[in-house]
Amino acid sequence: MTDGKEKKSGEERHGVPLTNLDQPLFDGAGATKRDLVDYLDAMADRIVPVLDDRPLSVIRVHRGQEAFMQKNLPKYTPEWVERMKYWAETSKREVTYALCNDRRTLIWFANQRAVEYHPTLVRADAPEHQTHLVLDLDPPSADAFPTVVRVAHAVHAALEETGLSGALKTSGSKGVHIFVPLARSVTIEDAAAATRALAVRAAAIEPDLATTAFLKEDREGKVFVDATRSGGATVVCAYSPRVRPGVPVSFPVAWEDLDDVTPADFTIGEVPGLLGDRDPWAEAMPEPQELPDDLVAEGTEIPAGRVAAMHEGKRRVRAKRNPDEG
């Protein structure tokens, strides 16, 4: 079943009726909906494992409309799509998330024009355990990727100094994501604290290029080392397409190859041919690791970025209203 706005093409893939396959995917994509379906079908053996049993948000693009994020499954979702209900504290409502645990579900999402796939860092069967520590390197502009590369090497150095190891992928947009798999014994609170500490340590290695400032106006044109991805946060998964010109893909890159790539090198048209039978994300991912006590202790003394930004924002508002008290 579709959302009622698309016509069936008569084609079917893995039991999913497909619609409007030859329509452009979105303005500037240079690809059709068929290209998206073909890509996700070809990559399903690599994508489904990183989505498996994780509450999923997707970014969909209806023809001629702006892209939008979908968390709550629509009412017309087939019964065979696995799901879980979750209380969303921020919106004060119960959300029914999809669990994309098989190829058929992935193809159903593709037919819904779901381009991007953003799973949580926790699994449905263990919401109290964050499976990976994540640092997101966000540059001030799309042409700043060489600077992102230098900051990524600083993160790598900070990890090595701490005795940790991680895997890296392009975000598919402007930056990169660094994942460190965590042992089951690591609490969400400790993971969040360690993430903050690593971000500060990395920024200290390249202080002229990197910052942990949460407010954009405080970043001074530097790469933001984002340490806010923790708990139930989502991160675009490895191999996910992005709603960007040319439909680039979030793609794994070996540390030693980072200086020689750009995010635009990896698109839905190129990636399956580049990989053959390989799964470089699975190959690069280390075994789950414990977090050093000193790293966690250091991080507990660093305020969470959003909280610090909120307090700073309030302080600035007060200062504007009462300049004599600033």
Does some domain include residue 2? Answer: no
Least confident of 197-206, 257-266, 297-306, 307-316: 307-316
> pLDDT value at position 314?
42
- Assign residue 39 the CATH number of its domain: 3.90.920.10
Does some domain include residue 3? Answer: no
Q: Are residues 142 and 225 in the same domain?
A: yes
Q: Are residues 275 and 292 in the same domain?
A: no
Q: Are residues 180 and 110 in the same domain?
A: no
> pLDDT value at position 316?
42
> pLDDT value at position 10?
76
Q: What is the pTM of this model?
A: 0.91
Q: Are residues 168 and 37 in the same domain?
A: no
Q: Is pLDDT at 4 greater than 70 in this prediction?
A: no
- In the predicted model, what is the mean pLDDT of residues 20-35? 96
Report d(CA 96, CA 104) in Å as an integer. Answer: 19
> pLDDT value at position 136?
98
Report d(CA 281, CA 238) in Å as an integer. Answer: 7
Q: Are residues 271 and 294 in the same domain?
A: no
- In the predicted model, what is the mean pLDDT of residues 100-119? 98
> pLDDT value at position 311?
40
pLDDT top residue among 272 and 316: 272
- Assign residue 223 the CATH number of its domain: 3.30.70.3300
Does some domain include residue 1? Answer: no
150-165 pLDDT per residue, tens: 999 999 999 999 999 9
| Number of other residues whose CB lies within 10 A of the CB of residue 230 | 22
Does some domain include residue 141? Answer: yes
Mean pLDDT of the chain: 91
Q: Are residues 157 and 261 in the same domain?
A: no
- In the predicted model, what is the mean pLDDT of residues 107-126? 97
268-277 pLDDT per residue, tens: 999 999 999 9
Q: Are residues 275 and 224 in the same domain?
A: no
> pLDDT value at position 93?
85
Q: Are residues 122 and 255 in the same domain?
A: yes
Least confident of 239-243, 292-296, 317-321: 317-321
> pLDDT value at position 1?
40
Does some domain include residue 192? Answer: yes
Does some domain include residue 122? Answer: yes
Does some domain include residue 307? Answer: yes
- Number of domains the chain contains: 2
Q: Are residues 248 and 105 in the same domain?
A: yes
Range of the domain at 177: 129-232+286-312
Angstrom CA distances, 309 to 230, 246, 302, 303, stand at 17, 35, 12, 9
Q: Is pLDDT at 53 greater than 90 in this prediction?
A: yes
Q: With pLDDT > 70 as the criterion, what percentage of the chain qualifies?
A: 90
Contacts 24+ apart (CB under 8 A), 11-17: 13/37, 13/41, 13/107, 14/41, 14/103, 14/104, 14/107, 15/104, 16/104, 16/107, 16/108, 16/111, 17/111
Q: Are residues 110 and 72 in the same domain?
A: yes
Q: Are residues 210 and 239 in the same domain?
A: no
Q: With pLDDT > 90 as the criterion, what percentage of the chain qualifies?
A: 85
Q: Is pLDDT at 318 greater than 80 in this prediction?
A: no
Report d(CA 50, CA 148) in Å as an integer. Answer: 25
Report d(CA 312, CA 209) in Å as an integer. Answer: 23
Give Rg (Cα) of the chain: 21
Does some domain include residue 318? Answer: no
Q: Is pLDDT at 312 greater than 70 in this prediction?
A: no
Q: Are residues 46 and 87 in the same domain?
A: yes
Q: Among 261, 231, 235, 270, which Cα is nearest to 127's? A: 231
> pLDDT value at position 231?
87
